[in-house]
Amino acid sequence: MSVYIALIDNQLLDYIKSGDQLAFAEIYERYWGLMFHHVFKMTGDKDETKDLVQELFTNLWLNIEQIEPETNISAYLYVSARNKVINLIRHDKVKNNYLSSLSNFANYYQNSVLEQLSAKDLSIAIEREIQNLPCKMREIFELSRKKYRTHKEIAEELQISDKTVKKQINNAIKILRLRLNIFILILTIYLSLSANTFSL
Amino acid sequence: MTGPEARQLLRKYNQGKCTPEEIALVERWYLLESSKQNISEDQDDFIAEKNQMWYEISEMSGIQTRNKTSRIILWGTSIAAAVIIAISIGSNFFKASQPELAQSESISKVYDKNPGENKAVLTLADGTKIVLDDIVKGTIAKQGGITISKAADGSIIYDMPAVAGLSHETVFFNTIETPKGGKYQITLPDGSKVWLNSVSSLRFPAIFNGEERNVELKGEAYFEVAKNKEKPFVVKTNDMNVIVTGTEFNVMAYSDENYSATTLVEGSVHVSSPNSDIVLKPGEQVVSNEGAKLKKSLADVELNIAWKNGLFQFNDSDMRTVMNQISRWYDVSIEYKGGVPEKHFGGYISRESKLSQVLKMLELSGVKFKIEEKKIIVLP
């Protein structure tokens, strides 16, 4: 199993910045589904969606040097996807009549002041997209995400202290290591046993 | 607002020319739309697009494509096969029958080879060559007031008496070189320990009297560098310089492999090449790929230093990687009949095994070998 799965997005970003292709593959693993789903929902065209998502990730790799290390990757991908979808809309490459919808929306709000989306609004929007993923895809996504949640977040959710979480996690890692070592030991014994028998 | 005006607004948005109010309008509208839209198709089909898109992305971004699934399956089968064979041999052991398992048609015992051993040649500054093996013991040479001796465990020790009497201008360069089928551990004059893998050489001064402790490496070595903050220890290879003050790391720089790598086990190292400069943390490695920029990544440390721990260890390793290691350790050449098989290997086996035993393990992954005199033929 890939060691990258245990890293949070920003650690992966760090590795991608130094040219690490496997870290990039892990980011793709995490976000392809979310991006595909969102873009397909908006465009209704599978080929346009594939092209757009490919371009999205390719640009991430090619422009990685311009991306700040603290950047939130999910938000970055979402915003890039939105720009690209809007581009398709204004070139009439999507199913719906979004232009009339936008003009209606603008007319409705013409006398009120709309606030810009905050970072929080954005993350709520992304969270909603995750919740709307089909079952199987959502499970995969949440599984990978749960692995790299911070101790603090888990602590908040479970209403226990940071330290307890840390201890629990360390215990779990120790047990895993022990199991792995035993497995390796057994394997080595088998291998040397088989090697000895062959030489008879 | 009319339809054409809406289009115009989106154009401005894409060009980044919107006012904050317009941005708010577009983004809030987009958010609302995205909450209204749904997908009617069967979405489980989407997963099929994942690999194809990744293939295109790899192409466009110029990164290597790997066929992940088939590799993982091979790993799985070879481990399963190893365990299954081991179990049947286990029972075989007690029953002492079933000769067909112990027999392989192509791997003959005639040209079988023993594993490599402690073997190296030390060349002193004056050109004197000293063969180092398990037989030589005690003091082996003296040069410039330095006694070179061999310890009970086979390692070479440079013993400097009080430095006072030594001329600091004269630097004696020594080279230790391991042949095919050889390995050697040496303790350098500063107390640093170096394990040399097969077909490797290390050039070092008999006294480290410069600003830096410079050594030159070809092939592969594991370093346990003695701490000295004032005098950095520098390992030079063709592709990179590894600079440390006291730490443990592995450097692989064989000229017949298509990359070289420095893997950090403990402490911290600084790796530099003409066009890059990287600091490593434990568990990370830096790879130099045929003159390209150095690249840092997480390392499978155990795998990288398995040789030092007396193991061949593979994880998704390709045929050439595996056979190169075997060639160096058993002093055999490799011939591929009908091209290099597209196989990948995972697992461990002791480097103390005979060649035939190692090949039999590999045959579990569906390749076939023939041993001739100092040569392995990989059959199609």
Residue A87 burial by CB count (10 A; 0-12/13-18/19+): exposed, middle or buried?
middle
Confidence of residue A115 (pLDDT cuts 50, 70, 90): confident
Nearest chain A CA: its distance from B329 CA (Å): 17
Residues from chain A that touch B357, judged by Cβ atoms under 8 A, are 195, 198-199
Residues from chain B that touch A191, judged by Cβ atoms under 8 A, are 82, 86, 347-350, 361
Cα–Cα distance between B264 and B369 in angstroms, integer? 35
Q: Give every CB contact of residue B332 below 8 A, 6+ residues apart in sequence.
A: B113, B326, B355, B371, B374, B375, B376
Average pLDDT, chain B: 79
Q: CATH classification of A1-99+119-148, choosing from 1.10.1040.50, 1.10.1740.10, 1.20.120.80, 1.20.1250.20? A: 1.10.1740.10
For B265-301, write each residue's pLDDT tens digit.
888 899 988 878 899 988 899 988 876 778 888 888 8
Cα–Cα distance between A125 and A142 in angstroms, integer? 16
Residues from chain B that touch A105, judged by Cβ atoms under 8 A, are 25, 28-29, 32
pTM of the entire predicted model: 0.51
Tell which residue, B116, B165, B118, B113, has the closest CA to residue B144.
B165
Number of Cβ pairs closer than 8 Å across A and B?
196
Cα–Cα distance between B268 and B271 in angstroms, integer? 10
**What is the per-residue pLDDT for A184?**
53
Q: Which residue has the higher pLDDT, B72 or B178?
A: B178
What are the beta bridge partners of residue B272? B241, B277
Nearest chain B CA: its distance from A4 CA (Å): 8
**What is the per-residue pLDDT for B165?**
44
**What is the per-residue pLDDT for A54?**
95
The interface pTM score, or ipTM, of the predicted complex is 0.73
Q: Which residue blocks in chain B are alpha helix, DSSP H?
A: 3-15, 20-36, 47-61, 68-95, 99-102, 301-304, 319-330, 355-363
Residue A115 DSSP class? P
Domain ranges of chain A: 1-99+119-148, 150-200
**What is the per-residue pLDDT for B43?**
67
**What is the per-residue pLDDT for A6?**
64
Cα–Cα distance between B35 and B39 in angstroms, integer? 11
| Residue with the two structure tokens 């007690």 | B94
At A169, list the tokens.
């996690």
Residues from chain B that touch A3, judged by Cβ atoms under 8 A, are 298, 300
CB B306 within 8 A of CB B329: no
Confidence of residue B105 (pLDDT cuts 50, 70, 90): low
Nearest chain B CA: its distance from A85 CA (Å): 10
Give yes or no for residue B208 having a pLDDT over 80: yes
**B161-165: long-range contacts, CB 8 A cutoff, minimum separation 24:** B163/B207
Contact A24/B at CB under 8 A: yes
Give the pairing of strands B213-224 and B182-187: unpaired
Which of A97-106, A126-135, A182-191, B137-146 has the lowest average pLDDT?
A: A182-191
**What is the per-residue pLDDT for A35?**
94
For B367-377, write each residue's pLDDT tens digit.
889 888 889 99
Query: Of B33, B287, B314, which to mutate for an interface test with A (greatest number of A Cβ within 10 Å)?
Result: B33
Contact assignment for B89 to A89 by CB distance below 8 Å: no
**What is the per-residue pLDDT for B219?**
93
**What is the per-residue pLDDT for B106?**
61
Q: Give every CB contact of residue B351 below 8 A, 6+ residues apart in sequence.
A: B115, B116, B307, B310, B311, B312, B329
